[in-house]
Amino acid sequence: MKLVILGATGSIGVNTLDVVARHPERFEVVALTGHRQVEALAAQCRQFRPAYAVVAGAAEAGRLAGLIRDAGLRTEVLHGAEALVQVASLPEVDAVMAAIVGAAGLPPTLAAARAGKRVLLANKEALVMAGAVFMAEVRRAGALLLPIDSEHNAVFQSMPHGYAGDMPRGGIRRILLTASGGPFRTTPLDRLTTVTPEQAVAHPKWSMGRKISVDSATMMNKGLEVIEAHWLFNAPADRIEVVIHPQSVIHSLVDYEDGSVLAQLGNPDMRTPIAHAMAWPERIDSGVAALDLFAIARLDFERPDLARFPCLDLAYRALRAEGNAAAVLNAANEVAVAAFLDRRLSFLGIADLIAATLDSVPQAAVPDLAAVLEADRQGRGAALEILARRGVTAA
């Protein structure tokens, strides 16, 4: 299988390359992208020798080209958003790992779908911002869409064979998405007013990037996953339920009409869903240790407290509103998390800013990518304007 990894230097990209390295006879890396992580990307190029490497701008491309040249490699260095789209749709490529965080990952992920690739979807924004547009392109081009998020991958594994988006026909009552609860699951509510970025990114189970870690702390990540599950499995909002499961051993469940509940279990390691999607329908070694149920000993479950996690409620609100609401929600969240990480906004201010942004942007349909990007622009602009009115300075 010939593979492109969008976001190769992030945690998903690094774990994907770990799986590739375990199976050199199965996978060939055609292109790697690394935004501004020039040295890390150069090291990956030295190991995997891709035909292409993509970075953000001309300055980064110049530095990377020098490192590539010094290493005696023939990797062609490209830069910019158009280069991401180019490598995601190369005719010789079989599969694209879509792991660029944020709205920047949407155009190349959509390009991979339009080119009919096996799309290994780790980029939430493709479905959160542009679910209807993205799924229409998947169907039109005959692309194979396989989820990488551990929760959606678990649902995929627990669905009936050949599930085609009809929950009643599949005898499915509910999709149950598990959540760890993040670092503040039991923190007294009055202490959330003083949460620092360092505390918010200290996830108890998963090793993730800073933005995703904050989303876990607010449970916005689970809200975004609810929206993703809606598009991936054609599930209405009232058929998707979030369950806090602090051990992070059950990655999600499917509740059937006959009383059966099927779940996928495993150690909290992203190489499991990555290897599953890369090799599907086969199974291959991912490097993940076998699950020891005797060591775990117990599995706990709780209902999420929406007073503690208002971002989860906001995501359900956006899903039910349809149209541009989810794109606006995502844009406002990116602005809010960036301000929090820069210490310009309080932890509790994240949800307040998102709610205010949803209230301020008029609802509209999003029939195409241009409309999606306009919704994203409006959401970011409204969030920044609200911050400015509240006296929060720009970054």
What tens digit of pLDDT does each residue of 351-393 get?
A: 999 999 999 999 999 999 899 999 999 999 999 999 999 988 7
For the segment 70-99, the average pLDDT, to the nearest whole number, is 98
| Amino acid letter for position 36 | R
Instruction: Let me know if residue 95 belongs to a domain.
Output: yes
Residues 112 and 206 in one domain: no
b/e 313-336 (16+ beta carbons within 10 angstroms → b) = bbbbbbbeeebbbbbbbbbbbbbb
Q: Looking at the predicted structure, is the pLDDT value of residue 208 above 80?
A: no
Residues 138 and 13 in one domain: yes
Q: Which of 147, 170, 185 is the last residue of a domain?
A: 147
Closest CA to 240 of 139, 151, 358: 151
Q: Looking at the predicted structure, is the pLDDT value of residue 207 above 70?
A: no
Residues 25 and 64 in one domain: yes
Residues 202 and 143 in one domain: no
Q: Looking at the predicted structure, is the pLDDT value of residue 102 above 80?
A: no
Residues 373 and 332 in one domain: yes
Instruction: Let me know if residue 274 belongs to a domain.
Output: no
Residues 141 and 182 in one domain: no
Instruction: Let me know if residue 27 belongs to a domain.
Output: yes
The rounded distance, in Å, linking the Cα atoms of 362 and 147 is: 31
Residues 136 and 193 in one domain: no
pLDDT digits (tens, 9 = 90+) for 148-199: 999 999 999 999 988 999 999 999 999 999 999 999 999 999 999 999 999 9
Instruction: Let me know if residue 303 belongs to a domain.
Output: no
Q: How far is CA 284 from CA 99, 203, 281, 361, in A?
A: 21, 28, 10, 46
* Mean of per-residue pLDDT scores for the chain: 95
Instruction: Let me know if residue 206 belongs to a domain.
Output: yes
Domain region containing 85? 2-147
Residues 65 and 91 in one domain: yes
Instruction: Let me know if residue 80 belongs to a domain.
Output: yes
The rounded distance, in Å, linking the Cα atoms of 79 and 60 is: 8
Closest CA to 380 of 334, 346, 348, 340: 334
Comparing 13-22, 51-60, 120-129, 225-234, the range with the smallest average pLDDT is 120-129
Q: Which of 117, 147, 177 is the last residue of a domain?
A: 147
- CB 272, CB 291: distance < 8 Å: no
Q: Looking at the predicted structure, is the pLDDT value of residue 115 above 90?
A: yes
Residues 85 and 218 in one domain: no
Instruction: Let me know if residue 177 belongs to a domain.
Output: yes
For the segment 83-101, the average pLDDT, to the nearest whole number, is 97
Domain total in the chain: 3
